[in-house]
Amino acid sequence: MTYIILSDIHGNLQAFESVISSFPKTDNSRIVCAGDVVGYGADPNECIELIMSLGAENVLGNHDAAVIDKTDISYFNENARKAVLWTRERLDRAGRDYLNGLPLVRENPSFTVVHGTLHDPAEFIYMQSGTEAMRTFEILNTKICFVGHSHVPGVFVYRDSGLYQSFERKISLEDGARYIVNVGSVGQPRDNDNRACYCVYDSSSGEIEFHRIKYDVISARERIISAGLPGALGDRLLFGR
């Protein structure tokens, strides 16, 4: 089985459409999302419609939760709060119902999916440190946990010899090891690479590979600015940070 795992689309339709057009052509694949279909970008309803049409298995992200008033936005920075309030005003009923139906965690025999950390999914903590990784590994029931939220792709690997972090483009799963994989961001990368990011997990070969996809960043930026959203949200797309 081939699993296409993405996250943090953030209303960026241009990036999302480019990513979809790059998907591996296979009849034996499933789409998985680690949350935040909306927030920041100018096309929240369109992105929700598109991910629904893909039949993706999705979880609730912090921006998804914020626009349906399921989480406190006082800790959001000013531009993020403005984007949440803008999206709330424009989200249609179908989009709201879709987000309301998303779980915080999904687990199947092959892997687990959560937006932030598994040990406290409703708090949307960033999976950035070894400490947070270990807290999730302690309760992880599967070999792999896919996460998003930080918008920075990378892998925590835990085996008997200890914990380490990898930023390799492709990894091969090893017996006796477990993995937390941050799949990066489709709509707002933050690792100084403005290309959209997602990963593919081939359960037959035991390989996980990150993919970077160019898209029309200028158009995405212009959509944000013309929609009346903070210009900084468009400008940062140019630099991937």
106-129 pLDDT tens trace: 999 999 999 999 999 999 999 999
- Average pLDDT for the chain: 95
CATH value at residue 44: 3.60.21.10
21, with CB counted inside 10 A (0-12, 13-18, 19+), is exposed
| Cα 66 to Cα 77: distance, rounded to the nearest angstrom | 13
pLDDT at position 161: 78
Q: What residue ranges in the chain does DSSP mark as E strands?
A: 2-6, 29-33, 57-58, 105-107, 111-114, 144-147, 154-159, 162-166, 170-172, 178-182, 196-202, 207-213
The single residue listed with the structure tokens 């270990």 is 134
Residue type, 153: P
Number of domains making up the chain: 1
pLDDT at position 205: 92
Contact in structure between 47 and 9 (CB atoms under 8 Å): yes
Q: In what order do the strands lie in the sheet containing 29-33?
A: 57-58, 29-33, 2-6, 196-202, 207-213, 170-172
Assess whether pLDDT exceeds 80 at residue 5: yes
Give the β-pairing of 29-33 and 2-6.
Answer: parallel
Chain-centroid distance of CA 170 in Å reads 18
- Mean pLDDT on 186-193: 97
Assess whether pLDDT exceeds 80 at residue 1: yes
- Residue 66: give the domain boundaries: 2-239
| Cα 82 to Cα 220: distance, rounded to the nearest angstrom | 18
Q: For residue 38, give both structure tokens.
A: 């909306």
Q: For residue 69, give both structure tokens.
A: 């008033």
Chain-centroid distance of CA 220 in Å reads 18
pLDDT confidence tier of residue 195, bands split at 50, 70 and 90: very high
pLDDT at position 170: 96
